[in-house]
Chain A
Amino acid sequence: EPEVTQTPSHQVTQMGQEVILRCVPISNHLYFYWYRQILGQKVEFLVSFYNNEISEKSEIFDDQFSVERPDGSNFTLKIRSTKLEDSAMYFCASSEARTGAYEQYFGPGTRLTVT
Chain B
Amino acid sequence: AQSVAQPEDQVNVAEGNPLTVKCTYSVSGNPYLFWYVQYPNRGLQFLLKYITGDNLVKGSYGFEAEFNKSQTSFHLKKPSALVSDSALYFCAVRDLSGGSYIPTFGRGTSLIVHP
Residues on the B chain within 8 Å of A29, using CB: none
Residues on the A chain within 8 Å of B100, using CB: 56
Q: A108's contact among B43, B46, B102, by CB below 8 Å, is which? A: B43
Of B66-74, B77-85, B104-112, the one touching chain A: B104-112
Question: How many residues from A make CB contacts under 8 Å with B?
Answer: 25
CA distance A45 to B49 in the complex (A): 19
CA distance A56 to B103 in the complex (A): 12
Does the CB pair A101–B32 fall under 8 Å?
yes
CA distance A32 to B42 in the complex (A): 18
Does the CB pair A105–B101 fall under 8 Å?
no
B94 CB–A CB distance under 8 Å = yes
Does the CB pair A41–B46 fall under 8 Å?
no
CA distance A101 to B36 in the complex (A): 14
Does the CB pair A100–B32 fall under 8 Å?
yes
